[in-house]
């Protein structure tokens, strides 16, 4: 199901409401979370709603999708630092249960496998939030990643490094490798919500509609998932045939 909202604010309002409702209905749930520009307004809206509604987030377990290999949690461009600044430090989470892959330990033997196993030991992910890369990646599963992959180290595609260079200081190199939950880890989530906003995602979304299910466009695998919703703003939906989505007026 593809839902289209007028703008980024309407998307953030809807997605943060969905998160809020999920957590309120089963407080000890396990969430899978993403980073990136798309998630920033969503986390801002979510923080405000949790504070306004006094929602208990202390029983949540969180597993983030990915991290750059080689960056430690204090590096300003690490995803651990992103999560701390944009979400974790704003609400009373139990930080013992908030997991971001460790970019320093990522290359240790067994680390990746342990991350996947840890998710399974928690009973799997109840609700997975995803963004999508310009090339269709989910997590950092770049085009060509096998659909049966578990947590692993990837070499980032040139397009991904270019897209993400906007978060780094001028002249600072985007790491060449990342650790990411695998596509199978993601697909085992009971429910998935993928968000794409802005005109740069219009051609990405067109690929989703035009292609069948192919490892060359990783997020097409979501067509196989029984409970996936895709949420877009008008800009990201502009190249889609109107019959392929439902427009939500707010």
Using CB under 6 A, pick the residue from 20, 29, 30, 36 that binds ligand F6R: 36
Question: Binding string, 56-95, against ligand F6R, x = CB under 6 A?
Answer: ---------xx------------x----------------
By beta-carbon distance, which residue lies closest to ligand F6R?
131
What count of other Cβ atoms lies within 10 Å of the Cβ of residue 126? 19
Give 34 or 50: the residue with its C-beta nearer to ligand F6R: 34
Q: Are 62 and 22 in contact (CB under 8 A)?
A: no
Does residue 143 interact with ligand F6R by CB under 6 A? no
Q: Is residue 97 among the annotated active site residues? A: no
> Dihedral of CA 213/228/157/154: which sign?
negative
Of residues 120-139, those binding ligand F6R (CB under 6 A): 131-133, 137-139
CA dihedral 18→22→25→31, nearest 10 degrees, is: -160
Question: Does 31 sit near ligand F6R (CB under 6 A)?
Answer: no
Classify 124 as helix, strand or coil.
coil
CB of 124 to ligand F6R, least distance (A): 18
User: Smallest gap, in angstroms, from Cβ of residue 90 to ligand F6R?
Assistant: 18
Nearest to 172 by CA among 82, 96, 70, 50: 70
48 is catalytic: no
Q: Which of 67, 137, 188, 233 is catalytic?
A: 137
- Identify whether 66 is a catalytic site residue: yes
CB of 133 to ligand F6R, least distance (A): 4
Q: Angle at which helices 79-86 and 39-53 pack, to 10 degrees?
A: 40
Q: What is the rounded CA–CA span in Å between residue 135 and residue 67?
A: 18
- Is residue 163 annotated as a catalytic residue, yes or no? no
Contact 4, 197 (CB under 8 A): no
- The catalytic residue among 67, 102, 126, 142 is 142
Rounded to a whole number of angstroms, the minimum distance from the CB of residue 8 to ligand F6R is: 11
Return the DSSP state at 93. Answer: -
Smallest Cα–Cα separation from 101: which of 87, 89, 115? 115
| Minimum CB distance to ligand F6R smaller for 137 or for 152 | 137
Q: According to the binding rule CB under 6 A, does residue 145 interact with ligand F6R? A: no
Task: Give kind and range of the element (H or E) at residue 156.
Answer: none
Q: What token pair was written down for 248?
A: 């939500």
Judged by CB under 6 A, the stretch of 28-36, 48-56, 108-116, 148-156 that binds ligand F6R is: 28-36
To 5 degrees, how large is the angle CA 11–CA 16–CA 21? 130
Tell the smallest beta-carbon distance from residue 91 to ligand F6R (Å): 19
**Which residues have a catalytic role annotated?**
66, 135, 137, 142
Site for ligand F6R, rule CB under 6 A: 34-38, 65-66, 79, 131-133, 137-139
């Amino acid at each position: 199901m593809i839902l289209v909202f007028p703008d980024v604010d309407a998307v953030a309002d809807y997605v943060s409401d969905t998160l809020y409702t999920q957590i309120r209905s089963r407080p000890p749930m396990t969430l899978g979370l993403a980073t990136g520009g798309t998630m920033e307004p969503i986390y801002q809206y979510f923080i405000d709603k949790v504070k306004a509604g006094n929602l208990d987030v202390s029983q949540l377990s969180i597993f983030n999708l990915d991290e750059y290999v080689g960056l430690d949690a204090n590096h300003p461009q690490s995803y651990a630092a992103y999560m701390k600044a944009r979400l974790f430090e704003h609400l009373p989470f139990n930080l013992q249960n908030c997991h971001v892959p460790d970019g320093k330990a990522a290359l240790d033997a067994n680390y990746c496998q342990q991350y996947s196993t840890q998710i399974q030991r928690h009973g799997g992910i109840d609700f997975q939030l995803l963004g999508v890369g310009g090339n269709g990646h989910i997590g950092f599963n770049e085009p060509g990643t096998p659909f049966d992959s578990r947590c692993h180290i990837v070499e980032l595609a040139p397009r991904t490094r270019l897209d993400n260079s906007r978060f780094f200081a001028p002249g600072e190199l985007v790491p060449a490798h990342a650790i990411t939950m695998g596509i199978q880890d993601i697909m085992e989530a009971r429910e998935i919500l993928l968000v794409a906003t802005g005109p740069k995602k219009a051609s990405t979304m067109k690929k989703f509609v035009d292609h069948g299910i192919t490892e060359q466009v990783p997020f097409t695998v979501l067509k196989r998932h029984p409970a996936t919703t895709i949420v877009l703003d008008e800009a990201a939906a502009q190249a889609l045939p109107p019959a392929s989505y439902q427009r939500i007026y707010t």
